[in-house]
């Protein structure tokens, strides 16, 4: 009893499990079958459509020949050969294409002699006797002989055959004459083939040339196409619609539905390439689909069928075992479902949050980029523009949609336009940078073709293993224009200042040198001060002019071969007078043999004069300023030593910068423009040299510059 009682819930579970699994099984099988049925019907429909299309192509081909016969004055045998050959070659279903004129008995002899004169000496209208022998045509009112025939080879047997002599063919001729339209015959056996190759003859009427007002259109003959049905069926391929190979061993059978609504078998074809592997016998089934089509006054029926198909496969197991499995499956399924739902819920929430935060950060990034004052363009490693913000639109005059996907060289003038791809390629191959970096000034070209000056900073990032270049662009056209105006102004002012300065200096110089004795000592001192300051003013103008040239990159040099020692001596001599006013003694040591250097004499003298005047200015009175020429293997060094206080610690980093002087009081006391060392550095660097200073152990200040030794090759 106990045992029995215990079994109740188990049996219930088993029954429920069984019930559930059966329902599942049945519904799945049903659904699967329905799906298969649907698929199969589609396949059959497509096959029928395909067949209809193929047949229509053949009809169209014949139609094109009849048109020719209707319009040409006369079509000879060679014309027909030329016409028909390409057509039957293109449509392999044709066994033959024929011209069949309607010939009255009165005309028979004329036609026969005409064909004989074409080279067919035995040509006569003929028919087949009941024994199947070839016999001359019986007397009739009209004949329908095969007169022209292509291809002749293989179809010789049909030439001259009177199609009207055979009942099935005659019925089709009469049908075509009556309906005045293309008519297909019921399946016939061709003279040139046996009954295993059924064919249909398609009679396309040729109308006589007549006035359009004529009430009736009369038929002069036919273009007849002999179509082998088997070849027709070979022209369709169910495989195209059966790509998943769901269906195996498809059979297509063609019937004609005759006037009495009964089926006449035409042909049948299996598609053995699709032959099925052996399936379990208990899952065999058949499917069948019937489609009808109208072909040239005939109704054909296409029956597509198959014997094997796959469907849901259930192993043949004992019911208890199956129930256990189905229950286990059922429970597992439920658990799986629950966990899936939970997971999905979690994932959905998570995704929502992430998407929201991503979207807001993406949006804010987008807004930042769009509202940047600077243009931002990104390109890929091939140079295609990937993004283009609104500031970039403003700078270049293109809209985003016009440039995205285009090559960035669109925005560059020549010669960079044509070289940019090469630069990119070179960078990706060799890492050699042409533009990457901070703040380059380059030229760009706007959509209307105007050149603009831009400052561009390019950086590279890698996204998904792809290099992307980010260019930040600032339009500096206005700034450059102002700068140019400033430089031109400085240039003009400098020239204009020289003219009055010439007069002042000239006048002072003449007074001082020619009429000294007429003046008191005080007047002489004043004149000396005036002259000294006019010299300073001249120097200031020269420095400003040089600075402007430096900025414009136009500080020019005339390089010649020079004697290093001679340059130093000349510089010393030139500064002699200035040194005297500060009571400084100048001396020179040339440690080197007289080395050659390549340089601009005037500019090098300018550097030395600058170093000397600084040394003189900052030396204590009655002290020495010393010039030394020394050399290494490759460089010649000019050093100017003084006994001044030297350069203060805080000032050292700025000493070669523009308008720098140690402090305000020095400026007033010692004079100078604060441009001298800056210009000197530029000149020395142009000579591929360097300029610097140091403190000697003897507490002297040494300013030196060195430039390469010139060695004639």
Partner 1 sequence: MSNNIRLLYVEDEEDIIEIAECALEDEGFDLLFCSSGSEALEKIVAFSPDIILLDVMMSGMDGPTTLKNLREIPGFESTPALFLTAKVQPQEVDVLLALGAKKVIPKPFDVMTLADQIKDAL
Helices (H), 72-107: 77-90
For residue 698, the 8-state DSSP code is: T
Are the C-beta atoms of 116 and 123 separated by less than 8 Å? yes
CA–CA separation, 478 vs 452, rounded Å?
9
* CA angle (466 as vertex; 463, 468 as ends), nearest 5: 75
For partner 1, give the closer residue by CB, 407 or 491. Answer: 491
Closer of 557 and 710 to partner 1 (Cβ)? 557
Residue in 505, 631, 670, 686 binding partner 1, rule: CB under 8 A: 505
Binds partner 1 (CB under 8 A): choice among 85, 503, 648, 699: 503
Pairing of strands 585-590, 624-631: parallel
Q: CB of 694 within 8 A of CB of 642?
A: no
Phi-psi region of 422 (alpha: psi -120 to 50; beta: other; left: phi over 0): alpha
Closest distance between partner 1 and the C-beta of residue 558, in Å? Answer: 5
The least distance separating partner 1 from the CB of residue 635, rounded to whole angstroms, comes to 25
Q: Does 699 bind partner 1 (CB under 8 A)?
A: no
Q: Which is nearer to partner 1, 511 or 635 (CB)?
A: 511
Name the residue nearer to partner 1 (CB basis): 532 or 549.
549
What part of residues 4-63 is at the interface with partner 1 (CB under 8 A)? none
Between 57 and 502, CB nearer to partner 1 = 502
Note the residue count of the chain: 713
Residues from 361 through 380 that contact partner 1 (CB under 8 A): none
Burial 111-135 (b: 16+ CB within 10 A, else e): bbeebeeeebeebbbbbeeeeeeee
352 binding partner 1? (CB under 8 A): no
Beta strand 247-257 pairing with 298-309: antiparallel
51 or 604: CB nearest partner 1? 604
Nearer to partner 1, 305 or 491 (CB): 491
Looking at beta carbons only, is 183 or 534 nearer to partner 1? 534
Rounded to a whole number of angstroms, the minimum distance from the CB of residue 594 to partner 1 is 25
Separation CA 107–CA 145 (nearest Å): 12
Quick check: 468 binds partner 1 (CB under 8 A)?
A: no
3-state helix, strand, coil split of the chain in percent (to 5) is 50, 25, 30
For partner 1, the binding residues in 476-495 under the rule CB under 8 A are 494-495
Q: How near is the Cβ of 436 to partner 1 at its closest, in Å?
A: 34
47 vs 684, beta carbon nearer partner 1: 684
Q: Which of 392-400's residues contact partners 24+ apart within 8 Å by CB, and which partners?
A: 392/473, 395/444, 395/446, 395/452, 395/454, 395/473, 395/475, 396/444, 396/446, 396/447, 396/452, 397/446, 397/447, 397/448, 398/447
Among 325, 501, 574, 635, binds partner 1 (CB under 8 A): 501
CB 678 within 8 A of CB 658: yes
One residue of 506, 573, 659, 688 binding partner 1 per CB under 8 A: 506
Radius of gyration of the chain (CA): 54
Q: 510 to 539, contacts with partner 1 by CB under 8 A? A: 510, 513-514, 538
Burial track 352-381 (b if 16+ CB lie within 10 A, e otherwise): eeeeeeeeeeeeeeeeeeeeeebbbbbbbe
Q: Could you tell me which residues are beta bridge partners of residue 682?
A: none
What is the smallest separation between the CB atom of 665 and partner 1, expressed in angstroms? 30
Figure out which of the listed residues 85, 181, 258, 502 binds partner 1, where binding follows CB under 8 A: 502
Q: Which of 368, 509, 516, 581 binds partner 1 (CB under 8 A)?
A: 509
Residue number with CB closer to partner 1 (262 or 513): 513
Which of 461, 507 has the CB closer to partner 1? Answer: 507
Q: Taking the CA of residue 425 as centre, how many other CA atoms within 13 Å lie in the half-sphere pointing to its CB?
A: 5
Count of residues near partner 1 by CB under 8 A? 23
Phi, psi of 480 (to 5 degrees): -65, -35
State the number of CA atoms in the 13 A half-sphere of 616 facing the CB.
Answer: 24
Residues 6+ apart with CB under 8 A from 318: none
Please report how close the Cβ of residue 549 comes to partner 1 at its closest, in angstroms.
7
Residues 552-581 that bind partner 1 (CB under 8 A): 556-558
Q: Which stretch binds partner 1 (CB under 8 A): 76-84, 115-123, 419-427, 509-517?
A: 509-517
Residue nearer to partner 1 on the CB measure, 21 or 494:
494
Q: Which stretch binds partner 1 (CB under 8 A): 234-242, 460-468, 497-505, 632-640?
A: 497-505
Is the dihedral angle over the CA atoms 110, 113, 115, 118 positive or is it negative? negative
Q: Near partner 1 by CB under 8 A, which window of 267-275, 354-362, 420-428, 506-514?
A: 506-514
Q: Which of 600, 628, 642, 706 binds partner 1 (CB under 8 A)?
A: 600
Q: Does 507 bind partner 1 (CB under 8 A)?
A: yes
Nearer to partner 1, 49 or 491 (CB): 491
Residue among 446, 549, 563, 670 that touches partner 1 (CB under 8 A): 549
Residue 473 C-beta: closest distance to partner 1, Å: 34
Interface characters, 602-641, with partner 1 (x: CB under 8 A): x---------------------------------------
Distances in Å between the Cα of 305 and the Cα atoms of 251, 281, 309 are 5, 18, 11
DSSP 11-71: HHHHHHHHHHHHHHHHHHHHHHHHHHHHHHHHHHHHHHHHHHHHHHHHHHHHHHHHHHHHH
Binding segment toward partner 1, per CB under 8 A, in 57-65, 277-285, 472-480, 507-515: 507-515
Binding residues for partner 1, rule: CB under 8 A, are 494-495, 498-503, 505-507, 509-510, 513-514, 538, 545, 549, 556-558, 600, 602
């Amino acid at each position: 009893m106990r045992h029995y009682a215990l079994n109740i819930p188990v049996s219930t579970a088993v029954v429920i499990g069984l019930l559930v699994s059966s329902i599942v099984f049945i519904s799945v099988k049903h659904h699967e079958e329905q799906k298969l049925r649907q698929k199969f019907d589609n396949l059959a429909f497509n096959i029928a459509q395909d067949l209809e299309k193929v047949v229509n192509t053949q009809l169209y081909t014949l139609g094109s020949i009849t048109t020719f016969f209707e319009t040409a004055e006369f079509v000879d045998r060679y014309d027909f050969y030329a016409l028909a050959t390409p057509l039957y070659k293109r449509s392999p279903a044709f066994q033959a294409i024929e011209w069949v004129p309607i010939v009255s008995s009165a005309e028979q002899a004329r036609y026969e002699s005409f064909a004989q004169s074409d080279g067919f000496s035995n040509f006569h209208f003929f028919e087949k006797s009941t024994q199947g022998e070839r016999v001359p045509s019986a007397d009739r009112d009209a004949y329908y002989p095969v007169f022209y025939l292509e291809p002749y080879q293989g179809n010789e047997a049909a030439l001259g055959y009177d199609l009207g002599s055979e009942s099935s063919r005659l019925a089709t001729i009469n049908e075509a004459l009556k309906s005045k339209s293309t008519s297909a015959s019921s399946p016939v056996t061709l003279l040139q083939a046996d009954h295993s190759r059924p064919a249909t003859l398609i009679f396309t009427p040729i109308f006589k040339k007549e006035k359009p007002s004529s009430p009736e259109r009369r038929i002069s003959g036919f273009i007849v196409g002999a179509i082998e049905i088997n070849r027709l069926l070979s022209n369709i391929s169910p495989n195209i619609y059966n790509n998943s190979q769901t269906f195996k061993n498809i059979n297509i059978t063609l019937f004609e539905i005759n006037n009495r609504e009964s089926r006449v078998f035409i042909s049948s074809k299996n598609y053995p390439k699709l032959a099925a592997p052996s399936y379990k016998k208990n899952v065999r089934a058949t499917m069948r689909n019937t489609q009808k089509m109208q072909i040239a006054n005939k109704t054909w029926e296409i029956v597509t069928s198959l014997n094997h198909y796959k469907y849901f496969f259930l192993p043949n197991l004992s019911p208890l075992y199956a129930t256990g499995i189905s229950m286990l499956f059922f429970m597992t399924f439920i658990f799986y479902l629950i966990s899936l739902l939970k997971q999905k819920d979690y994932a959905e929430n998570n995704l929502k949050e992430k998407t929201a935060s991503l979207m807001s950060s993406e949006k804010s990034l987008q807004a930042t980029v769009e509202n940047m004052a600077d243009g931002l363009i990104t390109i890929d490693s091939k140079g295609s523009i990937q993004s283009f913000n609104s500031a970039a639109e403003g700078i270049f005059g293109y809209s985003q949609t016009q440039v995205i996907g285009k090559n960035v060289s669109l925005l560059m003038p020549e010669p960079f336009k044509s070289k940019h791809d090469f630069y990119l390629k070179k960078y990706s191959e060799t890492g050699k940078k042409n533009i990457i970096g901070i703040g380059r000034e380059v030229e760009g070209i706007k959509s209307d073709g105007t050149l603009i000056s831009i400052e561009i900073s390019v950086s590279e990032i890698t996204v998904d293993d792809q290099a992307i270049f980010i260019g930040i662009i600032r339009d500096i056209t206005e700034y450059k224009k102002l700068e140019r105006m400033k430089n031109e102004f400085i240039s003009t002012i400098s020239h204009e200042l020289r003219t009055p300065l010439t007069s002042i200096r000239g006048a002072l110089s003449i007074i001082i040198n020619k009429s000294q004795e007429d003046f008191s000592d005080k007047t002489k001192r004043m004149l000396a001060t005036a002259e000294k300051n006019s010299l300073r003013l001249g120097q200031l103008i020269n420095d400003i002019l040089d600075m402007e040239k430096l900025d414009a990159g136009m500080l020019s040099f005339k390089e010649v071969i020079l004697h290093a020692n001679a340059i130093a001596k000349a510089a010393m001599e030139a500064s002699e007078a200035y040194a005297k006013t500060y009571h400084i003694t100048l001396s020179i040591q040339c440690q080197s043999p007289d080395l050659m250097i390549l340089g601009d004499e005037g500019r090098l003298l300018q550097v030395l004069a600058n170093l000397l005047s600084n040394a003189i200015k900052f030396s204590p009175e009655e002290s020495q300023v010393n010039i030394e020429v020394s050399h290494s293997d490759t460089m010649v060094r000019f050093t100017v030593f003084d006994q001044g206080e030297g350069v203060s610690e805080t000032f050292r980093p700025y000493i070669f910068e523009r308008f720098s002087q140690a402090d305000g009081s020095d400026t007033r006391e010692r004079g100078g423009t604060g441009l001298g060392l800056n210009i000197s550095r530029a000149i020395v660097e142009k000579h591929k040299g360097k300029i610097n200073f140091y403190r000697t152990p003897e507490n002297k200040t040494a300013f030196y510059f060195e430039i390469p030794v010139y060695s004639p090759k």
